[in-house]
Chains A and B, each alone.
Chain A
Amino acid sequence: MSASPGTERDRKRVVEPGVTARSVTAHVSDLVLERRTPLWWWVGFGLSFGLFGLFLVAVGWLFIRGVGIWGIDWPIAWGFAIANYVWWVGMASGGTLISALFFLTRSDWRSATSRIAETMTVFCVACAGIMPVIHLGRWWYFYWLFPYPNTMALWPQFRSPLHWDFVAILVYVAGSLLFWYVGLLPDLATLRDRARRRWQRVLYGLLALGWQGSSQHWCQFRMLYGLFAALMAPLVCSIHSIVGLDFAGGLTPGWHETQFPPYFVFGAALSGFAVVLMLVIPLRRALELTGVITLRHIDVLARLMLTASLLLSYCYLIEVFMPFYRGEQREITVVTSLLTGYYAPWYWAKIVLNGVLPQILWVRVLRLNRPLLFLVALGVVVGMWIERYVIVVGSLHRNHSESSWFVFVPTVWDWATLAGSVGLFLTGFFLALRFIPMVSMFELRELLHKKKAEGGR
């Protein structure tokens, strides 16, 4: 495959010539069933598992000593844990947007990337879900958030955005898992039928639930998948809007903004597309998937990242403009503090990484330069974490009462929890790489048939 494709037709190709339904099925399932575990997998998994161990240590120490091991204190009671939470759930949303929204638009580039995106979502949501629980001072009471009959005759406060968020994240965990699993069923059946070792037959036989691929099965499957996609697309927007409302619902200057729900959704989309790019770019080489994940996919994802970056930049402008437009003194204090104060380096880092750097993607040559694109995506992922950090900490450190102004300094345990959660994500993702087909085989078979019927690709 050439690095710089010649014609317009080459650039639009979602499948390289020579790829057939049979070769895709054989290659993708052999990656799981037959191929010896490659060295890069062991190295990657080892490092990830090490980081995951760090997470266990950090959370274990937290459970023993309490949240005092972190840098949080009044008035900055929301530190890394909440920033991490918003960051992870945002990246998860990007995966669902690709798999659900672009299913509804019938985009042909979605088929090859949806599985990677959905798998990414599942493990991001896992990381996200843990954060608010460990952030509770008395985490063992987290079940008080459920409206269960109790002898104290108490109810959770349903009117609080924080409780909306609890409900939303719960539904999102269930939704992303089910959407992922239903989409996997036909491929698990393929693995079951191709498996030669006994443990593989038993494992995939159980997971495939006895899928037959009969017309009855496909008919129900297509209906269910369409319904799920139609539900997941608005659901994912609602999830991140509600995360935005966690902040907007408070009176803290800088948070109390009507633009927060869409602001957060745009940020979620940006970070999600960036993570998918960061996974797709190395994986298409490592798993030899360049035939089905083409430059077209890279191009589309890069354009989406650019679009999301523009949307988010608009919100950044509004965020600075509104306090001055309204003339609210406290809000002006917060904004000037962000622009010039203690957190200014963080603030400007987020502007550069999320708003300025992605602008190079206007140029096609740069957009298709994978190492460069990978770095831009990495910048966005880091930048989005910084954005969440600045939102959480920046507003709290200049709240209404001047006597309580304070600066948040993260401790080593804050950083350990953040790095450890990356380990948790990567550990899960590496395991998925080994045991789950990373490309939706049945969707590609259908796509190949359609492309053939349309006459050449």
Chain B
Amino acid sequence: MTVRRGTGHSLRGRLAAFDSPDAMLESLRRLRQAGFSRLEVYSPYAVEGVDELLGRKARALPLIVVAAGVLGAVGGFFLQYWGMVVSYPLNIGGRPLNSWPAFATSTFELAALTILLAGFLAFCKFCRLPRLYDPIFDAAGFEQASQDRFLIWIAEREGREDGELLQRLLPNGEGVRIDEVPA
């Protein structure tokens, strides 16, 4: 039975724990070659090379940030233009009402503000945070993933018995441990 959780993956499967990032990376490569596609890595820091193997790329985040910046700049300038030119024009010695150089700094700052807020919100959305409980937290030894162990979660494949294959791909010992993850 596959239980879909908010993280987008079924949690039923196996969790292999490694002591070193290099051993984890090597095993991940082997798993990919053996045709496992639904994998996730949990690590105490970002391991170079994992993103390529799992096809992860934060494509949307920079786009959202740029869009937010443009929106913030246009909106920020419009706010000042509206206030100083349209809603409450003040004639001071005949100087131009649309004094855009004087609006430039606040335009930049407001663009920065929208970037900061939109970036953080988008980050939360893509990481599905805040999410105080996730079934993965119940997996044995998961708390080590935020300290010094490198975990690969391998989804159970429908109608296939991968136990033996995994034993071959990820030999126990040498700091590797495989646990079943209940759904």
Enumerate chain A interface residues (CB-CB to B < 8 A): 21-22, 25, 147, 153-156, 158-159, 163-164, 167-168, 170-171, 174-175, 178, 182, 186, 189-190, 192-194, 205-206, 209-224, 227-228, 231, 235, 238, 242, 245, 442-443, 445-446, 449
A171 to B147, CA, bound (A): 34
Collect the chain A residues with CB atoms within 8 Å of residue B79's CB: 147
The residue on A at minimum CB distance from B50 is A215
A401 to chain B, nearest CB (A): 21
B43 to chain A, nearest CB (A): 6
Contact B45 A218 (CB under 8 A): yes
Contact A159 B41 (CB under 8 A): no
Collect the chain B residues with CB atoms within 8 Å of residue A443's CB: 45
A147 to B127, CA, bound (A): 34
A201 to chain B, nearest CB (A): 11
A388 to B112, CA, bound (A): 27
5 additional contacts (CB under 8 A) given A175-B116, A231-B112? A154-B88, A159-B99, A167-B110, A190-B44, A213-B146
Contact A171 B45 (CB under 8 A): no
Collect the chain A residues with CB atoms within 8 Å of residue B137's CB: 212
* Stretch among B29-37, B100-108, B158-166, B170-178 lining the A interface: B100-108
A235 to B142, CA, bound (A): 39
Collect the chain B residues with CB atoms within 8 Å of residue A211's CB: 127, 129, 146
A243 to chain B, nearest CB (A): 11
Collect the chain B residues with CB atoms within 8 Å of residue A205's CB: 132
A219 to chain B, nearest CB (A): 4
A382 to B69, CA, bound (A): 38
| Interface 1/0 per residue, B107-141 and A, CB below 8 Å | 01110110111011001101101111110110000
Contact B80 A158 (CB under 8 A): yes
Determine which residue in A147, A174, A217 has the highest number of CB atoms from chain B within 10 A of its CB, and name it.
A217
Contact A25 B58 (CB under 8 A): no
Collect the chain A residues with CB atoms within 8 Å of residue B117's CB: 174, 178
Q: Given that A153-B88, A449-B21 are contacting pairs, would A224 and B105 also be in contact in the complex, using a CB cutoff of 8 Å?
A: no
B65 on interface, CB distance cutoff 8 Å: yes
The residue on A at minimum CB distance from B142 is A193
Contact A218 B88 (CB under 8 A): no
A436 to chain B, nearest CB (A): 16
Enumerate chain B interface residues (CB-CB to A < 8 A): 7, 21, 40-47, 50-51, 54, 56-58, 61-62, 65, 79-80, 83-84, 87-88, 99, 102-103, 105-106, 108-110, 112-113, 115-117, 119-120, 123-124, 126-127, 129-134, 136-137, 142-148
Contact A194 B143 (CB under 8 A): yes
Instruction: Pull 8 A–B residue pairs with CB atoms less than 8 Å apart, ordered by A.
Output: A174-B116, A190-B44, A212-B134, A214-B40, A219-B46, A224-B61, A227-B61, A231-B115
Contact B56 A219 (CB under 8 A): yes
Contact A238 B108 (CB under 8 A): yes
Contact A221 B116 (CB under 8 A): no
Closest 4 CB pairs of A and B: A223-B58, A193-B143, A209-B130, A218-B46
Contact B105 A238 (CB under 8 A): yes
A20 to B146, CA, bound (A): 15
Collect the chain B residues with CB atoms within 8 Å of residue A158's CB: 80, 83-84, 102-103, 106
Contact A210 B119 (CB under 8 A): no
Collect the chain A residues with CB atoms within 8 Å of residue B112's CB: 171, 175, 231, 235, 238
Contact A209 B129 (CB under 8 A): yes
The residue on B at minimum CB distance from A22 is B148
Contact A210 B56 (CB under 8 A): no
Contact B42 A213 (CB under 8 A): yes
Collect the chain B residues with CB atoms within 8 Å of residue A182's CB: 120, 123
Contact A213 B43 (CB under 8 A): yes
Q: Given that A194-B147, A220-B58 are contacting pairs, would A155 and B83 also be in contact in the complex, using a CB cutoff of 8 Å?
A: yes
A22 to B88, CA, bound (A): 62
Contact B126 A216 (CB under 8 A): yes
Q: Given that A22-B148, A158-B106 are contacting pairs, would A442 and B45 also be in contact in the complex, using a CB cutoff of 8 Å?
A: yes
Determine which residue in B45, B79, B142 has the highest number of CB atoms from chain A within 10 A of its CB, and name it.
B45
Identify which of A174, A210, A215, A238 contacts B51 (C-beta below 8 A): A215
The residue on B at minimum CB distance from A443 is B45
Contact B132 A206 (CB under 8 A): yes
Contact A159 B84 (CB under 8 A): yes
A218 to B146, CA, bound (A): 12
The residue on A at minimum CB distance from B126 is A220
A39 to B102, CA, bound (A): 53
Q: Given that A171-B113, A174-B117, A227-B61 are contacting pairs, would A219 and B51 also be in contact in the complex, using a CB cutoff of 8 Å?
A: yes
A210 to B136, CA, bound (A): 11
Contact B120 A178 (CB under 8 A): yes
Contact A168 B109 (CB under 8 A): yes
The residue on A at minimum CB distance from B103 is A158
Q: Given that A215-B56, A221-B123, A238-B108 are contacting pairs, would A228 and B130 also be in contact in the complex, using a CB cutoff of 8 Å?
A: no
A440 to chain B, nearest CB (A): 10
Contact A222 B146 (CB under 8 A): no
Contact A221 B46 (CB under 8 A): yes
Collect the chain A residues with CB atoms within 8 Å of residue B123's CB: 182, 220-221, 224
Determine which residue in A175, A178, A224, A443 has the highest number of CB atoms from chain B within 10 A of its CB, and name it.
A224
A104 to chain B, nearest CB (A): 15
Collect the chain A residues with CB atoms within 8 Å of residue B136's CB: 212
A167 to B105, CA, bound (A): 9
Collect the chain A residues with CB atoms within 8 Å of residue B45's CB: 186, 218, 442-443, 445-446, 449
A212 to B84, CA, bound (A): 48
Collect the chain B residues with CB atoms within 8 Å of residue A168's CB: 105, 109
